[in-house]
Structures are given as structure tokens and as C-alpha cells.
Copies of this chain bind each other. A is one copy, B any other.
Amino acid sequence: MTADADIEALVRRLALEAKRASLALATTPTQTKNAVLLRAAASLRGPAGDAVIEANGRDLVVARELGLDDAMLDRLRLDRARVDGVAEGVEHVASLPDPVGEQVDQRRLPNGLEVARMRVPLGLIGIIYESRPNVTADAAALCIKSGNAVLLRGGKEAFHSNTAIAAVFGDALEAEGLPRAAATLLPTTDRAATLAMIRLDGVVDLVIPRGGEGLIHFVADNARVPVVRHYKGVCHVYVDGDADLEMALAIAINAKTQRPGVCNAMETLLVDEACADAFVPKALRALAGKRVEVHADDGVRARAGELAARVVPLEPEDWDREYLRLAMNFGVVDGIDGALAHVGRHGSNHTEAIVTEDPDKADRWLREVDASLVLVNASTRFNDGAQLGLGAEMGISTTKLHAYGPMGLSELCTLKWIGRGAGQVRA
């Protein structure tokens, strides 16, 4: 037997145990699920949290030896304040309404059968993620609260931290009489383990890969189980000729600079040529004040005046870039038709905003743009589970199957049909 075959057998065994645990979780009362989360949070705030910080210290030693850069070390690092923040996130999930058992679309059919759709867990959810160890706690909390078991495949840099956090959840499950396998961290980060996990059709009900495009393509290419994907976010703000230009500027600045390294930050600002003469100089000044590197097309450069020297000439491939830093594209389009065509070609189905005072153009934008969140007169930064009122999220789906947009507790469930009859048979 090869090493890969050993790993495959191990992953299958752990997944089958987790799948069995999912049956127990599916019918666990809300109160018990909340008790697990509150117990895990309390542990993280106490000595178990110290053990997590100690384990994280070992990860950091290895990471420094491996030469990880400062930004990566910072993402990996856990201290008391960060562990308390993780605990707070778990407590917040405990405070959210339980989606399981909720009934929607209730109606009475002509034959008297009372039908409805009841929200139920998906079963066993696999999460594949990279360096940040807090994802272990977030994913475990969201899956447990939504009645699912979870199979966690964390990044190798965070292996000790993840193991310590998963143990906290295992202990909390056990203390409440639930199988600890309901939150199972794979004991290896070998690629063979990932491959085994994403091929367990009929055992793993959903896989969510969180990470770079390479990871997501590997999963998409090799998975036999359903996958909800999060590709990159190339988000646009389009400033229409009928926009309030002060509002437009405030939205663009917020969308780009409030937190530039995230997927819902703006990458491209488009302006209607009808208001470009007024908007471009104003916007370039404000962006320069925020030290934003602007890649400008000919239309913008022609209107840049004394700021022309401060912009970078835009290359065609820039339109598809996700900068994830204080850099962006800026271009002039021919009205809403031009903007819709541009977003259709270069958008990533993530978040697209129009700024306009014209309700017809606003409606057209809302209907015609294909993105998980389409906005009028608001910042792209609102595409986020907490901001949209879901409480917490597992990530933002930019594919359309099952969930499109932030995945909260409800999106970790499905709807089964139920029917109450009085002996109805089919004629």
C-alpha cells in the first residue's frame, strides 16, 4: 500500500465517522448546539486558549524558518486579544437564530395536502483553507450551529494552531454528549488528503475551498462532490451622468480604501463621459490624497490636467486584475450601456455598484448586472454576511448554484419538502 493509499483510507475513515456524527447533529436541539459553542468560547477565553497560543508559537517558529514574509506571519499569529476575538465570534454565532427546522412556503394544495419546505442541514461539509487559524473556529461554529458536521483541512503553516482549536470544539461537543467527530480536523495537510476528501461522493455533501485561485482550480478540476466556489472579486463602481458627484466620490474612496486587501474592495472606477470632465479631476485629487495608485485609460488621462503625471497608463489586462492593495483602474465609458458592457466583460460576479439619481437607470442596473450583490448608491464593501444582516458567513459565493453571495447559516442548509395529509392518494 502506498503512502497516498494510506492517507486516502485514513481520510475516508474520518469522513465516515464525521458523516455519522452529522446525523446526530441534524436533530440536536438549538439549546445543546448553543451550549457547545458557548463552552468552546469559554475554553478559548481560559487555559485552552493559552494552549492555542502556545501551539501557535510552534507554528510561528516553523513559519519563520520557512521564510514566510511579515504579512503572512501576521495573518498566522494568535495572541490573547486575537483568541478572545475568535471566542467572541463563536459567541456571536451562538446568539444567531437556528435555521434548522424553519418552515417556509407553507400552503394547502387543492387535494387538502398541507405542504411546506423545511430547512435542514446539508450533512457533512468540507472546508479547505489556507493560513489563518481563526477559520477553524469560525467554520466549526457555523457548521455546528447549522446542524452540520465539518471536515476541516487547514493550511500546513497553521497546523498546530488548528489542531489546538479543533480540540477545543471536540471537547465541547463531547461535554454536551455529542460525537467529537462532528468537527474533525484532518491530521495531515498532504495534498493526497485534500484529493481524497473532495472525491468522497455520497459522504461529503459540500466542499468550500477558501484561498487562492490555484487552490480553487485544483478543487474544481478534481472534485466529485459538490463545490461552492469563491473566485476573485473584480468589483466596479460606475458613476453615472445623473450621479450626485460628491456621493460618488465618497463611495469610490470608501470602496477602494476602507480595506483594500479584501474581495469586496473596488478594483475599477468607471465614469460616464457625460460627467467625466467634472468628476475625473476631483476623483484623481481625492485618490492621490489617499495614496492610491491609479491605472487610467485614455479618457481619464485626457482629463487629468496637472495630475496626468501621477497616473499609470492602463494596460488592457489591468481591467481583469484584482489588486488587493491601494491600486485601481479608472476609465471613461459611454453611459450605462458602456458600463453594463464593461462589467459584463470584466466583472467577476461579485459586487457591482452604480451611483445615479435616475431611478430607471438604477432599476436597469439592479436587473441586468449579473453579480452576487448589485448596488445602487452604496459602497461595494457591503457584500459581507454581517453587513447584510446574516450575522456571520462562511465566505461569499460567486457561482450561482445553491448560494450566490454571502453564505450564512441558512445557506449551509437546504430545504426539504414536507407534506401532512389525511390519506391522500394519487388519482
Task: Give the B-binding residues of A (Cβ under 8 A).
Answer: 23, 26-27, 101, 107, 109, 113, 115, 118, 120, 122-123, 201, 205-206, 220-221, 224, 226-228, 244, 247, 250-251, 253-255, 258, 344, 362, 366-368, 370-379, 381-383, 387-389, 399-402, 404-406, 414-426
Contact = CB atoms under 8 A, between A and B. Distances in A.
A261 B179 CA distance: 41
B423 A378 contact: yes
Contact of A402 (B344, B362, B378, B402): B402
A209 B255 CA distance: 42
A378 B421 contact: yes
B419 A382 contact: yes
B27 A368 contact: yes
A88 B101 CA distance: 38
Given A422-B377, A423-B378, A426-B382, A416 B401 contact: no
A226 B399 contact: yes
In the A-B complex, the 10 residue pairs with the smallest Cβ-Cβ separation, listed nearest first, are: A378-B421, A254-B425, A381-B426, A247-B423, A400-B414, A226-B401, A402-B402, A373-B417, A377-B421, A378-B424
A4 to B, nearest CB: 19
A326 B387 CA distance: 56
A28 to B, nearest CB: 11
B419 A376 contact: yes
Contact of A416 (B27, B201, B371): B371
Contact of A115 (B27, B367, B389): B389
Given A251-B425, A404-B414, A426-B254, A226 B226 contact: yes
A373 B244 contact: no
Nearest to A421: B378
Contacts of A418: 366, 373-375
Given A118-B366, A123-B400, A401-B401, A374 B419 contact: yes
A362 B114 CA distance: 13
Given A206-B400, A250-B425, A376-B420, 13 more contacts: A113-B382, A123-B400, A205-B401, A220-B224, A226-B227, A226-B399, A244-B423, A373-B417, A379-B426, A381-B426, A382-B419, A402-B402, A404-B415
Nearest to A246: B423
Contact of A201 (B220, B368, B405): B220
Contacts of A23: 344
Contacts of A424: 377-379, 382
Contacts of A376: 419-421
A404 B220 CA distance: 22
A399 B250 CA distance: 45
B118 A416 contact: no
26 contacts: A27-B367, A109-B388, A109-B389, A118-B367, A122-B400, A123-B370, A123-B400, A201-B220, A205-B399, A221-B224, A226-B227, A244-B423, A251-B423, A254-B425, A258-B426, A362-B420, A373-B417, A374-B417, A377-B421, A378-B423, A378-B425, A382-B424, A382-B426, A388-B417, A404-B416, A406-B417
